[in-house]
Amino acid sequence: MLWKSWLQTLPARESTKSSLQPYIRRRILFKKAVATGTEMEIAEADEAYHDIIYNATGNKRLIQMINNLRGADVPLSFRIY
- pLDDT tens digits, residue range 45-70? 988 888 888 888 888 998 888 888 87
Residue type, position 25, single letter: R
Residues in the chain: 81
Predicted pLDDT of residue 77: 54
Helices (H) and strands (E) in the chain, counts: 5, 0
How does 28-38 read in b/e, with b if 16+ C-beta sit within 10 Å?
A: ebbeebeeeee
Task: State the Cα angle at 76 between 34 and 45, rounded to 5°.
Answer: 30
Region of poorest pLDDT, from 6-10, 37-41, 48-52, 68-72: 6-10
Report yes or no: 77 and 39 within 8 Å, Cβ to Cβ: yes
Q: What digits encode the pLDDT tens for the residues 18-38?
A: 777 888 888 898 899 999 988
Rounded to whole angstroms, the Cα distance separating 9 from 28 reads 21
pTM value? 0.59
